[in-house]
Amino acid sequence: MKAIVLVPVRFVLVCLILTAVLAGLSVLSANGDTNGIGQASAPQVAGLVIAFPAVFPPAVLGALLIALFPILRIARFRFIPLFLLFCVSGATLIAGIYGAGSVERTISAPPPLPQTISAGTIYRFGDDFLYAALQDGNMLSDVAVYRHGTTPGFGFSPEGTVDPVSGQVSLRDLGETYRISDSETSAARMFRTDTRLTDLFGDIRVLATFLSNQSRLKSPIYLATVVACILYVTSLWLFVRLTRWPLFNGVLAFGALRLLFAGYAFLQGTSFRGMAATVLKNEYIAFIAPAAILVVGLLFSLVGLLLPRFEPLNRGVAGE
């Protein structure tokens, strides 16, 4: 009984740790995007609240999956902790996003750090380079750029401008624009996402943004999506217990979680929605993604029910 109760407790703990780590990293990344050593702004609580909706869904889903593994140690009535997890994680996700939305409305977001370039500093963009001799606010003077592949390579513009919000440097005389965050040699580069993680972060962002937006509208689609996602991840119990090689099971389970984000992003993508619009009315299209996830989750659950009972892991068995 104790082991069963501990399962949701573990989930809450892991969820809190994951949320804290992800939100902390998000805030550090936002505050550290500076133009010099010693220039980073101090992290603010408001920053944490703003980062919360983006990091909370992956934290809950990740924690839910991690919390499935200790169930392997429970010998009987495994459906009870699974059901408990389903309820607790669903409630956590719904309450967390609603709560964060309410708090977010009461605080003012810290203004984004103005982006600019430093005078007398060279910025590299691929094989191009940019140098501004003078900078006064958003205005640049005596800007030299080296453009790879052109003859001559150097171009000179007496003036240029920087958009402090987008960080775009525009040189009208040369017809060139550069984005500061794209520069390999600027401080902004330090916090740029690893290109090998861009897809993963992009897919997670699609789900998190959708949930955050829909929670504000109190739309039924929000509840449907949360339930579908939680059911899907809970149904990954199928993989967690699939073989007597837990490492392999874990690989499959986390692979399936990655597929959830990828699949959701695909179903919410413009190309799929465009195709769906040819056969479905607009108001139904939004339900395709949660419905598909729900169906897959139910399918996994059904297969899990049909699988033979498995022995606790501390007992070795002959290979299949």
Partner 1 sequence: MSKASGRLVLVIFLTYLAGILYFLFLSFFQFPVREVMMNYYWDWVIDNTVAQLISYAIPLQITAMVIGFSLVIRDMDTRVGRARTVSFPTLVRLPIVALLVMTLAYVFALEWGLPAETMNRDSYAYDTSLARELYASAQASLKRQEYSQAVGRLNQYLQLNPQDAKAVDLRATAIVHAGTSTTARSEPAAANAHGIAGTDIPEALQGLSSSQLLERSSGYYQKADYFSAYYYASLALRLDPTLAGATRLQSRSLDGIQQLDVSKMDQKKAEIFRLKREGFLDLESDKPISAYYIYSDLKLQAPDDPDVQRYLAASAAAVRQISFFTDEVGGIASLPGVQQLMFVNDRNDKYTELVHIGKLINTADGTYALNIELLRFSPRGDILLHVAAPYAKIVNQNLILRAIDRRDPANNVGPTVYAGKIPAATGPVFPLRAPVRELHAIAAGSGNFASAGLQVLWSSLKVLGSYGYDTEPIYLELMMRLLLPFSFAVLSLFAISFGWRLRSRHFTRPPILALLLIPLIPFLVNYAFRLYTYGFRIVLGYSLAAAGAGITLAVLIVSQGALLVLALLSLAGQSTD
d(CA 224, CA 126): 45
Out of 44, 121, 138, 177, the residue judged to bind partner 1 by CB under 8 A? 121
Return the bridge partners of 131, or none: 122, 144
Q: How far apart are the first and last CA of the chain?
A: 32
d(CA 91, CA 257): 19
Is the dihedral angle over the CA atoms 279, 284, 285, 287 positive or is it negative? negative
Tokens of 190: 């330090």
Out of 110, 243, 277, 303, the residue judged to bind partner 1 by CB under 8 A? 243
Site string for partner 1, 60-89 (x = CB under 8 A): ------------------------------
Could you give phi then psi for residue 140, rounded to 5 degrees?
-115, 145
Q: Which stretch binds partner 1 (CB under 8 A): 4-12, 38-46, 84-92, 160-168?
A: 38-46
Residue 31 binding partner 1, by CB under 8 A:
yes
Near partner 1 in 183-242, by CB under 8 A: 184-187, 189-191, 193-194, 196-197, 200
Residue 112 binding partner 1, by CB under 8 A:
no
Helix (H, G, I), strand (E, B) or coil at 301: helix
d(CA 64, CA 200): 18
d(CA 241, CA 248): 10
Site string for partner 1, 123-152 (x = CB under 8 A): -x--x-x-x-x-------xx-x-x-xx-xx
Burial of 82 (0-12, 13-18, 19+ CB in 10 A): buried
CB of 46 to partner 1, least distance (A): 17
CB of 137 to partner 1, least distance (A): 18
Q: Which chain residues interact with partner 1 by CB under 8 A?
A: 21, 25, 28-29, 31-32, 34-40, 42, 118, 120-122, 124, 127, 129, 131, 133, 141-142, 144, 146, 148-149, 151-154, 156, 158, 184-187, 189-191, 193-194, 196-197, 200, 243-248, 250-252, 254-255, 258, 313-320
